Amino acid sequence: MTIMPAEGSAARLHVVLYQPEIAANAGSIGRTCVAVGAMLWLVRPLGFLIGDRHLKRAGLDYWDHLRWQVVDGLDEVAEAIGHDRFWSFSTRASTPYTQVRYQPGDALVFGPESRGLPARLVEDRPDRAVRIPMRSEARSLNLAVSAAVGVFEAVRQLDASD
C-alpha cells in the first residue's frame, strides 16, 4: 500500500478522519472515497498501523485508486485546502447535516470512534458543525456509516448543482 500524494483542492470532496481508532472503519471509508472521488486524510495518532490487514481487507482492491494522505494534525489539512472548508460532524452540533450547502472541495471531518471530535472544534466554529439526527436511544452511528451518510449528502448536493 503506497500513500498517494495529496493534490489539495483538486479533490471533489475531502474526508478527514481525526485520530481514527479502527482499521476496518478507515478501510471502508477509503472505499467510499474511491466511489465518489473524494480524498481521504488520516490525522495521527492512528489506532492502527497503515499495513493492518483489517484496513486492507475493508478497502479491498480499492486502495490503488484512493487518493489519501496521513498527516500529523488538522492544521496540515487546513493548509492544503483551507480551514473554512471544514464541516465538523458531531453529536454535539445542533445543525442537521442536510441543512447546510456543501461546495466542491469541502472537507467532512469525523472524530475517533470512542469519543468523537474534541469539543473545541465544534465550539470554535458552531456554524461549521453538523449532526446526523438520530433517536436518543443511540449515542452515535458507526464511523464508516456516519462518513457514508455525510459524503453521499454532499455528493447529492454537488450533483444537483451541476
Q: What is the pLDDT of residues 35-57, one digit of tens each?
A: 999 999 999 999 988 876 766 76
Contacts 24+ apart (CB under 8 A), 121-128: 121/74, 121/88, 121/90, 122/88, 122/90, 122/92, 122/93, 125/86, 125/88, 126/93, 126/94, 126/95, 128/84, 128/86, 128/87, 128/88
Which sequence spans correspond to the domains of the chain?
9-161
Pair 108, 15: CB distance under 8 Å: yes
Q: Is pLDDT of 109 > 70?
A: yes
Q: What is the pLDDT of residues 87-99, one digit of tens each?
A: 999 999 999 999 9
User: Is 9-161 assigned to CATH 3.20.20.120?
Assistant: no
- Confidence (pTM): 0.91
